[in-house]
Structure 1
Amino acid sequence: MIYNFDSSQTGAPVLSGTAGALRALLKACLVDGFGAGAVATLTVSAGVATATYAGAHPFAPGRVAEISGATPAELNGKKIVTTTTGSSITFPAPGVPDGSATGTISSKAAAPGWLELFAGALTNVIALKPSVPEATGCVLRVDDTGTTTARMVGYESMDGISSGVGAYPSAVQQSGGVFWPKSDAASSAARPWRMFADERAFALWVAPSGAQIGHGVFFGFGDFISDKSGDAYGCYLPGGALAADVTTSSTAVGACLGYANAAAAASVYVPRAYTGVGGSQAARKSSAYAAAAAYSGLAGYSNQGIPYPNPADNSLRVSRLDLLIGSTGFRGRIPGIYHTPHVVGEAFVTGDLVAGSGEFAGRTLMALRCGPPGAAIANAGCVFVDLTGPWR
Structure 2
Amino acid sequence: MAFPVKNYSSVSAAAPVLTGVAQSLQQLIRACLVTGYGSKAVQSLTVSAGIATAVYATAHAYEVGKVLRVTGAGASTVNGERLVLSVTASAVTFAVPGTPDGVVSGSISTDIAPAGWTEVYTTGSVSVFKSSAVEATGLFLRVDDAGALNARIRLYETMSDASTGTGPTPLDSQVSGGLYWPKSGAANATARPWVLIADDRGFYFAADPLSTGRYTLVFGGDFASVKSGDAWAAMVAGNQSDQTNLTTTPDGCCGFSNRDARSGAYIARAHSATGGSVAANRMGAAHNGTASAVYSGGSGYSGAAYPNQPNNGLLLTKPELWSLGLRGTLPGLYHIRNSVGQDVGVGITIDGTDDLAGRKLLLLRVAPPTGAVAPGVVALDLTGPWAR
Fold shared by both chains (TM-score > 0.5): yes
Bin for the TM-score computed over the shorter chain: over 0.9
Matched, 1:380 2:381: no
CA deviation string 1:58-86 (max 9, x = no partner): 43232210001111121111112222233
Normalising to structure 1: TM-score of the pair? 0.94
Q: Report the Cα offset of residue 159 of structure 1.
A: 1.0
Contact 2:267–2:277 under 8 Å retained in 1:
yes
Matched, 1:248 2:248: no
Q: Report the Cα offset of residue 369 of structure 1.
A: 0.1
Secondary structure of the structure 1 residue equivalent to 2:77: helix
Secondary structure of the structure 2 residue equivalent to 1:343: coil
Contact 2:240–2:251 under 8 Å retained in 1:
no
* Residues 1-392 of structure 1 aligned to structure 2 (within 5 Å): 1-119=4-122, 122-210=123-211, 213-243=212-242, 245=243, 247-291=244-288, 292-302=292-302, 304=303, 306-325=304-323, 328-375=324-371, 379-392=374-387
Contact 1:156–1:233 under 8 Å retained in 2:
no
Q: Report the Cα offset of residue 88 of structure 1.
A: 2.1
Q: Report the Cα offset of residue 101 of structure 1.
A: 0.8
Contact 1:58–1:109 under 8 Å retained in 2:
no
Contact 1:131–1:199 under 8 Å retained in 2:
yes
Contact 1:201–1:220 under 8 Å retained in 2:
yes
Task: For 1:102 and 1:259, locate their aligned partners in 2 and report how far apart those are by CA, in whole Å.
Answer: 51
Secondary structure of the structure 2 residue equivalent to 1:61: coil
Secondary structure of the structure 2 residue equivalent to 1:19: coil
User: Deviation above 4 Å: which 4+ runs of structure 1?
Assistant: none
Task: For 2:361 and 2:275, locate their aligned partners in 1 and report how far apart those are by CA, in whole Å.
Answer: 37
Task: For 1:41 and 1:76, locate their aligned partners in 2 and report how far apart those are by CA, in whole Å.
Answer: 14
Task: For 1:59 and 1:298, locate their aligned partners in 2 and report how far apart those are by CA, in whole Å.
Answer: 35
Number of residue pairs the alignment of both structures matches = 381
Amino acid at match of 2:376: G
Q: How big is the alpha-carbon RMSD for the aligned residues of Structure 1 and Structure 2? A: 1.3
Amino acid at match of 2:334: Y
Task: For 2:238 and 2:311, locate their aligned partners in 1 and report how far apart those are by CA, in whole Å.
Answer: 37
Amino acid at match of 2:36: G
Normalising to structure 2: TM-score of the pair? 0.95
Task: For 1:389 and 1:254, locate their aligned partners in 2 and report how far apart those are by CA, in whole Å.
Answer: 27
Contact 2:294–2:300 under 8 Å retained in 1:
yes
Contact 1:62–1:388 under 8 Å retained in 2:
no
Q: Which moved more, 1:37-46 or 1:173-182?
A: 37-46
Amino acid at match of 1:208: P
Q: Report the Cα offset of residue 54 of structure 1.
A: 2.7
CA deviation string 1:240-268 (max 9, x = no partner): 1111x2x1111012220100112221210
Secondary structure of the structure 2 residue equivalent to 1:233: coil
